[in-house]
Amino acid sequence: MTKMVELILVKEQNGVQFTSTTLVTPTPTQTNPSGEEERETWGKKIDFLLSVIGFAVDLANVWRFPYLCYKNGGGAFLVPYLFFMVIAGMPLFYMELALGQYNREGAAGVWKICPIFKGVGFTVILISLYVGFYYNVIISWAMFYLFSSFTGELPWVHCNNTWNSPNCSDWADNGSVILHIQDSNGIDNLGRPRWQLTSCLAVVIVLLYFSLWKGVKTSGKVVWITATMPYVVLTVLLLRGVTLPGAIDGIKAYLSVDFLRLCDAKVWIEAATQICFSLGVGFGVLIAFSSYNKFSNNCYRDAIITSSINSLTSFFSGFVVFSFLGYMSQKHNVALDKVARDGAGLVFVIYPEAIATLPGSSIWAVIFFIMLLTLGIDSAMGGMESVITGLIDEFKFLHKHRELFTLFIVALFSFSPLPLQGGMYVFTLLDHFAAGTSILFGVLIEAIGIAWFYGVDRFSDDIEEMIGHRPGRYWRLCWKFVSPCFLLFMVVVSFATFNPPNYGSYMFPAWANMLGWCLAMSSMTMVPLYAIYKLCTLPGKFCDVSL
């Protein structure tokens, strides 16, 4: 035990100082090499890995990647997907993990390394907040379907329910009417709140609060269930799916290789877009999670493991999805492209209808919606942790009131309009604008700030200080040139190929699109606004603010 000598001045008499010495043991404080007091850390390394995997592996892995693969050349789509994964996805994933772990701060606080870029921290916090408003309601829809599945006969099988529309048929998107979408004719007529959906949203918010209120000590335990359960359920569904008639045809269509599709620029753009959004870069979640790691944690290895698992999960889920789509195609004697779709329609319309035709359909429905629930919960936890950690690290007085502040953040989401009958229209609008171009812009500014202002060499020194060796030349080249160019290209393409949102045949009015753009710009403008504020309020030259 290290001891210190404490010298105490007792008194002074006749010009002579009398002193007393004692041996004391210093108060144990954990500090990093910067001399700062250590923050809370994950209970176990596996808690962190499961949290990152649980956040990155979300509903989009089930409802988007398989459809993109099928639509864009089957197995050939893996070529551009893996290419962009290697040159941009993994380097950016690694960059965010290292950034959070070294600086021990949330999305805004990490920019103490380059203060003029702090606005991008608030950009990603706002994006996570916006996404939370509709993502939590998706989870409440899954919960509502789950509760509705505890019956002898699933309620969306027939048209003899009080809530069926006159256009109902035994094969006409009956799964969607359980949400009463047919009672609203657009975003300007959202209808009444539905107490069932509102109650499910309240339950989701309570679950999220008690998963997050104590920080990573509680959330790190919750993910042991929420991050692993989807893999169990996907495996069970695959084993059932491959036994269905038509399943093999569906899987063949999923994997069919059409290399001629690689000549289409749109295929490459969709692969690049999928990489950007599937890994969860730019939401501030990876920064927040890694900030609770031990300083010497091997974030390089973590980046490789977790990003690879995310991509493999997307590929694996395609077998599950297309085994059931092939079954539906054969059962209803329609072409596969008539039943194949992406988005919420796949998991809330097509899949429930496929499950409803199976023996023991209620059991399979319960299993499926438990998977959706767990896929959504840990991703929602990640988004909310990004907001909470980002703000309490920026406003230090909130550290002592984390439980109350967490309650305040989760309570915000209870005011979401999505439990209304026309909530699907609000969801479609938010999903289109809240984290589209704005998230690409945020990651672009983040990459520029690290590579060109803070400096790749200095960033590499930080990583060496943590894990004992510098990143290889490949990673440094990606951070400095490849990834920023890739992101700049994606931002330009996102603006150039913009299409207004639609829900089926419904086209949103001009005012709704304008509102969506205002939402997107509100997060992006945080970057220039904060930079202007910093330049105007701090003395010195530009280099003093940026370095």
pLDDT for residue 166: 60
Q: Consult the annotation and say whether 61 binds a ligand.
A: yes
Q: Which of 137-151, 161-175, 358-372, 456-470 is predicted with the least confidence, judged by mean pLDDT?
A: 161-175
Choose between 254 and 180: higher pLDDT. 254
219's tokens: 């959330």
pLDDT for residue 229: 94
Average pLDDT (255-277) is 87
Q: Is the pLDDT of residue 25 over 60?
A: no
pLDDT for residue 17: 43
Question: Residue 163's pLDDT band (boundaries 50, 70, 90)?
Answer: low
Question: Residue 513's pLDDT band (boundaries 50, 70, 90)?
Answer: very high
Q: How far is CA 102 from CA 34, 65, 502, in A?
A: 10, 33, 43
Q: Is the pLDDT of residue 105 over 90?
A: yes
**Scanning the structure block, which residue is given the tokens 């010298």?**
7
Choose between 31 and 54: higher pLDDT. 54
Question: Residue 374's pLDDT band (boundaries 50, 70, 90)?
Answer: very high
pLDDT for residue 13: 43
pLDDT for residue 5: 38
Q: Residue 523 and residue 504: Cα distance in Å, rounded?
A: 28
Q: What is the mean pLDDT of the chain?
A: 85
Q: Is the pLDDT of residue 11 over 50?
A: no
pLDDT more than 70, % of the chain: 85
Q: What is the pLDDT of residues 36-95, one digit of tens each?
A: 556 889 999 999 999 999 999 988 888 888 888 888 888 889 999 999 999 999 999 999
Q: What is the pLDDT of residues 413-445, one digit of tens each?
A: 777 655 556 677 888 888 889 888 899 999 999
Q: Consult the annotation and say whether 293 binds a ligand.
A: no
Question: Residue 28's pLDDT band (boundaries 50, 70, 90)?
Answer: very low
First to last CA, the chain: 40
pLDDT for residue 167: 58
- Written in H, E and C, the secondary structure of 178-225 is CCCHHHCCECCECCCECHHHHHHHHHHHHHHHHHHCCCHHHHHHHHHH
Q: Residue 75 and residue 110: Cα distance in Å, rounded?
A: 40
Average pLDDT (456-466) is 97
pLDDT for residue 419: 55
Q: What is the pLDDT of residues 218-231, one digit of tens each?
A: 999 999 999 999 99
pLDDT for residue 23: 43
pLDDT for residue 476: 97
pLDDT for residue 21: 42
pLDDT for residue 191: 67
pLDDT for residue 2: 41
Q: Which of 385-399, 404-418, 452-466 is predicted with the least confidence, judged by mean pLDDT?
A: 404-418
Q: Is the pLDDT of residue 477 over 80?
A: yes
- Written in H, E and C, the secondary structure of 209-276 is HHHHCCCHHHHHHHHHHHCCHHHHHHHHHHHHHCCCCCHHHHHHHHHCECHHHHHCHHHHHHHHHHHH
Q: What is the pLDDT of residues 338-373, one digit of tens each?
A: 887 777 777 887 888 888 888 999 999 999 999 999
Q: Residue 542 and residue 530: Cα distance in Å, rounded?
A: 14
Which residue, among 70, 4, 30, 44, has the nearest Cα to 321 in the 3D structure? 70
Q: Residue 110 and residue 101: Cα distance in Å, rounded?
A: 9
Q: 3-state DSSP call for residue 37?
A: strand
pLDDT for residue 24: 39
Average pLDDT (399-409) is 92
Contact, 347 vs 62, CB < 8 A? yes
Q: Is the pLDDT of residue 20 over 50?
A: no
Give the CA-trace dihedral at 168, 170, 171, 174, to 10 degrees.
50
Q: Consult the annotation and say whether 494 binds a ligand.
A: no
* Strand partners for 146: none
Question: Residue 183's pLDDT band (boundaries 50, 70, 90)?
Answer: low
Q: Is the pLDDT of residue 128 over 80?
A: yes
pLDDT for residue 181: 64
Average pLDDT (150-176) is 63
205's tokens: 């918010």
Question: Residue 162's pLDDT band (boundaries 50, 70, 90)?
Answer: low
Question: Residue 169's pLDDT band (boundaries 50, 70, 90)?
Answer: low
Average pLDDT (178-199) is 72
168's tokens: 């109902």
Average pLDDT (99-112) is 96
Which residue, among 59, 546, 494, has the nearest Cα to 273 in the 3D structure? 494
pLDDT for residue 411: 87
Q: Consult the annotation and say whether 375 binds a ligand.
A: yes
Q: Consult the annotation and say whether 360 binds a ligand.
A: no
285's tokens: 């979640």
**Scanning the structure block, which residue is given the tokens 């805004």?**
108
Identity of the highest mean pLDDT range in 118-127, 142-151, 497-506: 118-127
